[in-house]
Structure 1
């Protein structure tokens, strides 16, 4: 379940003051997964406290590369400059994919005209210096009403992925939209305006289906909705993407961190991942992750992963990590 509260969420069994603590921060997209896994883990391990926060993928990497957190949630691979910051501070890590996301475009339930957008139309709406102001500017038959836009802020991995996948350049976006690192703000904004449009991770849509409506995306092969099936079969493009956690190798020397990460990658944690609405990776991917942790295999293998990489190809790339 996605928490509505901002800031740090303390996950501790029975509210007890506990000695062992694990600190996680980063992506608001990955936050629900780590939060759900943490709840399952602490129910089994009441002697451990897991704190989970979301300051955005970019904001989280700043803390992680200063050695302030044990686990970094990320909705995109680490960037070169972030990797350099970690190296400068002596922070080495294991990079672990944990799920797949269908980045989702949402509108108000009373929006009866838009059910599907072509990728070219999405680009026209969101690109820098866009001339699109109203829905009629997208298609002549649509209402002559201004589109109120909501989406991820610049510290968000969702922002980076969306702009690269749609505009072809990270950070390329119009300025007159409501940015936020908290996806609940986007939900409230779109739910409160019949003519609004926003983008966020699929889990936030799944939890708020009664408040917002998802649009299908046409990448040239017809309209495809952001469903589990369409992510798994590779047809929801270009907005399907892998989600990651990064684990500080020094933190892995602590038994509670190693136990938590191993649990995160175990079959027992799949229920928690499913409960968020995200898409599980194939079992083989988690087994590879466990082996990477066991070997303490440091570094990034996905830093240059292109947008819209299908899940099947992603798993093939993951296998190469063990070579």
Structure 2
């Protein structure tokens, strides 16, 4: 399969040109995480090849933005790089929406600098916390404040916006509280903007999903992280076995119960869980084990059966 190009568009329609307007029963609407987007995009491309009559539309508004639309019943599926929060569950419940959470892959967060950065070879969690915690705003602004042997130059920070599940995960893992971060950094829900920012700034520092680093490894330098057991670089092995701590995580899709009225949604999700293992490496992610995919398939089958019983 040709390598999937990471798109910068906020919303991408996968409808075939020239096709007549499709029946709503053949439309699948998806939104959410930019981190999970390349996986769902790859699945959708393969699915369209098998069933071109199904119109799959994928939006990229961040995990938080996706959950907002999902809770209002505006999308059938949402991509998420973190579990749903209690307040997001409450919105869905208030709108009579039940859902199933399905793990689809593992991912590591890459901490990156400019290739000309020759002073950083590893970050400790404590150093990353010192850089990113709220108290650092306006105070920790230069590289030599982290290590006196590093240059007396400004740190230019790039990171996901507050609606991003990557932001939530990083702040919880590094700072100790989800959403707790300095605010004086260049923020974007589009990881490609972050890639461009760091790759164009010798004194830049940023973080995002490992797949985006691998797609742009020729113009970035990845920095190993010491979570207490020595410096470890994210890879298929270190992410899947958990040694790349604390920046390894599962990725999810959530399926809206009301969308099960559309048989294409059920077929698409089953296709997703079946084909994900073979497609993930093409887009830079780590698959679950066979046993874990079987568990998720059984969970989805049970969800569909329960919905059909209630109808």
Tell me the TM-score normalized by structure 1: 0.89
Q: Counterpart in 1 of 2:13?
A: 10
Q: Secondary structure at the match of 1:172?
A: coil
Q: Counterpart in 2 of 1:89?
A: 95
Residue 125 of structure 1 and its aligned partner are, at CA, apart by 0.5
Residue 260 of structure 1 and its aligned partner are, at CA, apart by 0.4
Q: Secondary structure at the match of 2:181?
A: coil
Aligned length: 298
Once the two structures are superposed, what CA deviation does each residue of 1:187-239 show, in whole Å capped at 9, x if it has no partner?
00001100100010111111000111111000111100011111122210000
Structure-2 separation of matches of 1:214 and 1:169: 24
Residue 271 of structure 1 and its aligned partner are, at CA, apart by 2.5
Does structure 2 retain, via aligned residues, the 8 Å contact 1:26–1:55? Answer: yes
Match of residue 119, structure 1, among 113, 121, 125: 125
Q: Counterpart in 2 of 1:220?
A: 228
CA RMSD of aligned residues (A): 1.5
Structure-2 separation of matches of 1:115 and 1:10: 41
- Asked whether 1:244 is paired with 2:252, we answer yes
1:17–1:9 CA distance, 2 compared to 1 (3 A): farther
1:163–1:254 CA distance, 2 compared to 1 (3 A): same
Which consecutive unaligned segments of at least 5 residues does structure 2 have? 306-311
Match of residue 281, structure 2, among 263, 269, 274: 274
Structure-1 separation of matches of 2:256 and 2:263: 13
Once the two structures are superposed, what CA deviation does each residue of 1:164-203 show, in whole Å capped at 9, x if it has no partner?
1111111111111011111111000001100100010111
Superposition pairs for residues 283-298 of structure 1, below 5 Å? 283-296=290-303
Q: Counterpart in 2 of 1:50?
A: 56
Structure-1 separation of matches of 2:202 and 2:247: 24
- Asked whether 1:253 is paired with 2:256, we answer no
Structure-2 separation of matches of 1:122 and 1:17: 52
Tell me the TM-score normalized by structure 2: 0.93
Match of residue 175, structure 1, among 171, 183, 193: 183
Residue 276 of structure 1 and its aligned partner are, at CA, apart by 1.1
- Asked whether 1:153 is paired with 2:156, we answer no
- Asked whether 1:34 is paired with 2:40, we answer yes
1:5–1:234 CA distance, 2 compared to 1 (3 A): closer
Which consecutive unaligned segments of at least 5 residues does structure 1 have? 299-323
